[in-house]
Amino acid sequence: MSHDHDHHHDHDHSELSETELRVRALETILTEKGYVEPAALDAIIQAYETKIGPHNGARVVAKAWTDPAFKKALLEDGSKAIGTLGHVSRVGDHLVVVENRPERHNMVVCTLCSCYPWEMLGLPPVWYKAAPYRSRAVKDPRGVLADFGVALPKDIEIRVWDSTAETRFLVLPMRPEGTEGWSEEQLAELVTRDSMIGTGLPRKPGAPS
Amino acid sequence: MNGVHDMGGMDGFGKVEPEPNEPMFHEEWESRVLAMVRAMGAAGAFNIDTSRFYRETLPPHVYLSSSYYKKWFLGLEEMLIDKGYLTREEVAAGHAMQPAKALKRGKFDLANVERVMVRGKFDRPAPAPARFNIGDRVRAKNMHPATHTRLPRYVRGHVGVVELNHGCHVFPDTAAMERGENPQWLYTVVFEGRDLWGEDGDPTLKVSIDAFEPYLDPA
């Protein structure tokens, strides 16, 4: 994604979609009226592109897998525990971490819009914000999991967390077997974004990343 | 409002289709829309609940046929016109024609960018003790306000159990309408899947919502 604002004006307008023209017109008006500085908008986009993402969540999960005291603190108060980790401390308040166990699988949705733990996972993917997931996750989560190629035991409880307020939910997946003695860095490589939403499972050791 | 945005439990939207190696933005304009929404919100033109309400009030056919950031754009434009920050004439002309309206927190410039990247705080001092305790059985009210609410239709009238208490938070129903933060206790309330979806529902399913105290009655 380009951060160069000025290159827009090199294009012939006939190449641009109606939406693109309207968005550009709005930015022009907001700039001319002195509400926003285009360079500040560039900086917001750059920050989203570089500072947030599932690597933050993966680091938290890997630490919880190796450090029982941290895991306990994380499940008690997610925001507070993550705040102790230094550079992934900008999580904000109201983060709730929910733990997958052999008898219970957690899955997170926002049926009303797109609430998602941005700081931990980055901006949500299109499917998370789209009607099929939002409509079905609370009624037929096993069907949704099948769309992701995930099949869970028939008797395991499925707990779906609908993010209807400013609380945000992060799933702590189960640590894969065969990872005894692995470092946090190695473990973090197994933690996928979808495993922290609950629509996937962590990679197995030796599986392609 | 009973809008088309309230999708929980609706049928017919088809399969979930994950996109391998999905880019953060599919078009550059999407990133400009995201940045404008964040910037104008941080400058004080609107709060997050108001911005949600404007997206929800898009006509259902527009809501369903627009991409995510298109909805953000349409909601933003309408909201800024309604709040007096720009006019339809300016939008049509693509240029400023009227004097600016003062922003609560001033122009959004580079010095403000860091602020946008830290999530806002929504908890507030409690004006009254919590009405419910962990483990209490509660019924989600059968309520249908025409304005913004965060109580999804699929739980209304159903009984659940209070599982977590998150403290007092800004109440979206009033904040969205600019009638004040009106802090309310916020609880995670968990429902049995079969209570929501009937006997054909998945017997292993439990669904929780985060419910503000005014959404709940004792059961």
Beta carbons of B35 and A2 less than 8 Å apart: no
Distance CA A187, CA A184 (A): 5
A148 contacts: CB under 8 Å, gap ≥ 6? A194, A199, A200, B16, B18
CB pairs under 8 A between A and B: 260
pLDDT of amino acid A93:
74
pLDDT of amino acid A202:
98
Beta carbons of B31 and A23 less than 8 Å apart: no
CA atoms within 13 A on the CB side of A89: 6
pLDDT of amino acid A98:
98
CA proximity to A61, closest of A197, A153, A205 = A197
pLDDT of amino acid A208:
67
Distance CA B205, CA B212 (A): 23
Report the DSSP beta bridge partners of residue A169. Answer: A96
Nearest chain A residue to B51 by CA: give it.
A113
Residue-wise burial string across A173-198, b where 16 or more C-beta atoms lie within 10 A, e elsewhere: bebbeebeebeeeebbebbbbbbbbb
Q: Is residue A17 annotated as part of the catalytic site, yes or no?
A: no
pLDDT of amino acid B115:
86
User: pTM (2 decimals)?
Assistant: 0.94
pLDDT of amino acid B90:
98
DSSP H or E run through A156:
none
Of the residues A89, A113, A135, A183, only one is catalytic, namely: A113
CA proximity to A47, closest of B40, B116, B122, B132 = B116
Q: Which of B1, B11, B29 has the most A C-beta neighbours within 10 Å, making it the best mutation to test the interface with A?
A: B29
Condensed to tens digits (0 to 9), the pLDDT of residues A114-165 reads 999 998 999 999 999 999 999 999 999 999 999 999 999 999 999 999 999 9
Query: What are the mean pLDDT values of chain B's consecutive 10-residue runs (219 residues total)?
Result: 98 96 96 98 96 97 97 98 98 97 96 86 95 98 98 98 97 97 98 97 98 98
| Parts of chain A with a pLDDT under 50 | 1-11
User: Angle at Cα B177 formed by Cα A35 and Cα B129, nearest 5°?
Assistant: 120
pLDDT of amino acid A88:
58
Q: Where are the beta strands (DSSP E) in A86-195?
A: 95-99, 104-109, 157-162, 168-172
